[in-house]
A and B are shown apart, each in its own frame.
Chain A
Amino acid sequence: MEHLFTWNYLIAIYLFTAGLSSGSAIVGAIGDILENMDDRIKRLATYLAPFPVMLGLVALVADLHRPWYFYKVLINYHITSVMSWGAFFLLVFPIIAVIFAVMVYFNYKGILRKLFAWLELVLGLAIGIYAGLLLAAIYNNPVWSNPLIAFLFFVSAISTGICMIILGGKLWDQVEGLIRKIIPGRFLPEVRLLNLDHQAIRSLIGVDAVIIIVELMVISTLIISYMLRPTGDVALGAFITGGYYLSFWIVVVLSGLCLPLLLGIMELRDRFTHRTNVIVSWVEPVLVIIGGFMLRWVVVYGGQLVYPILTYYK
Chain B
Amino acid sequence: MAKVKPARWGKIVDLNKCVGCHACSVACVAENKIKHGKHRTRIVEHEEGTFPNVYRYTEKWSCNHCQNAPCVDACPTEASHYTEWGTVEVKPELCIGCGYCVLACPYRVRMMNDRRDGGLPEKCTLCIHRLEKGEKPACETTCIAGAIITGNLDDPHSEINEWMAKGAVERRPDLLTHPNVFIIPYRR
Given the known inter-chain contacts A73-B76, A83-B74, please indicate yes or no for A66 contacting B104, CB distance below 8 A: no
Residue-wise interface mask of B (43-56) relative to A, using a CB-CB cutoff of 8 A (1 in contact, 0 not): 01010000000000
Contact status of A311 and B96, CB under 8 A, knowing A65-B113, A66-B119: no
CB distance from B1 to the nearest CB of A (A): 33
Q: Identify the interface centre among A7, A78, A84: most chain B CB within 10 Å of its CB.
A: A78
B103–A304 CB distance below 8 A: yes
Judge if B31 is at the interface, Cβ distance under 8 Å: no
Minimum CB–CB distance from B114 to chain A (whole Å) comes to 7
Q: How far is the CA of A310 from the CA of B96 in the complex (A)?
A: 26
CA–CA, A174 to B68, complex, Å? 55
B132 part of interface (Cβ distance < 8 Å): no
Q: Closest CB-CB distance, A84 to chain B, in whole Å? A: 4
Give A300-314 as 1s and 0s: 1 = Cβ < 8 Å from B's Cβ atoms: 000010011011110
Chain A residue at minimal CB-CB distance from B106: A140
Q: Which residue of A lies closest to B95 (CB)?
A: A66
A69 touches B97 (CB 8 A): yes
- A187 lies within 8 A of chain B by Cβ: no
Q: Are A140's CB and B77's CB within 8 A? A: no
* Closest chain B residue to A64, Cβ basis: B97
Bound form: Cα–Cα A7–B111 in Å: 11
Residues A70 and B106 in contact, CB atoms below 8 Å apart: no
How many angstroms from the CA of A75 to the CA of B175 in the assembled complex?
Answer: 31
In the assembled complex, which residues on chain A have CB atoms less than 8 Å from the CB atom of B74?
80-83, 137-138
Interface of chain A, main secondary structure: loop
**Bound-complex Cα distance A82 to B70 (A):** 12
Report B96-121 CB contacts with A as 1/0, cut-off 8 Å: 11111011101110011111001110
Bound together, the chains give a CA A63 to CA B96 distance in angstroms of: 10
Closest to A78 in B: B78
Residue B159 interfacial (CB < 8 Å): no
Cα(A304)–Cα(B99), bound, Å? 12
A86 to B74, CA, bound (A): 12
Which of B77, B171, B175 is the one whose CB lies under 8 Å from A73?
B77
Task: Determine which of B38, B94, B103 lies in contact with A76 in the assembled complex, contact meaning CB atoms within 8 Å.
Answer: B94
**What is the CA–CA distance of A76 and B95 in the complex, to the nearest angstrom?**
10
Once the chains are docked, how many angstroms separate the CA of A67 from the CA of B119?
Answer: 9
Instruction: Give the size of the chain A interface in residues (CB under 8 angstroms).
Output: 35
Chain B residues, Cβ within 8 Å of A87 = 76
Whether B94 lies near A81 (C-beta < 8 A) is no
> Could you tell me if A65 and B78 are in contact, using CB atoms closer than 8 angstroms?
no
Q: How far is the CA of A139 from the CA of B70 in the complex (A)?
A: 9
Q: How far is the CA of A81 from the CA of B71 in the complex (A)?
A: 9
The answer on a CB contact under 8 Å between A83 and B98 is: yes
- Residues from chain A with a CB closer than 8 A to the CB of B172 are 313
Complexed CA–CA distance, A213 and B46 (Å): 45
Q: How far is the CB of A191 from chain B (nearest CB, A)?
A: 44
Q: Does A6 contact B (CB under 8 A)?
A: yes
- 15 inter-chain pairs at a CB distance below 8 angstroms, sorted by A residue, are A6-B102, A6-B112, A64-B97, A65-B120, A66-B120, A72-B95, A76-B77, A80-B73, A83-B100, A87-B76, A138-B70, A138-B104, A307-B103, A311-B44, A311-B107
Q: List the interface of chain B (C-beta within 8 A of A).
A: 37-38, 44, 46, 61, 70, 73-79, 94-100, 102-104, 106-108, 111-115, 118-120, 171-172, 175
Listed in ascending order, the chain A residues whose CB lies under 8 Å from chain B are 2-3, 6-7, 63-67, 69-70, 72-73, 76-78, 80-84, 86-87, 137-141, 304, 307-308, 310-313
Closest 9 pairs between A and B when the two form their complex, measured CB to CB = A65-B97, A65-B119, A66-B97, A140-B106, A84-B76, A83-B76, A76-B77, A6-B99, A66-B119
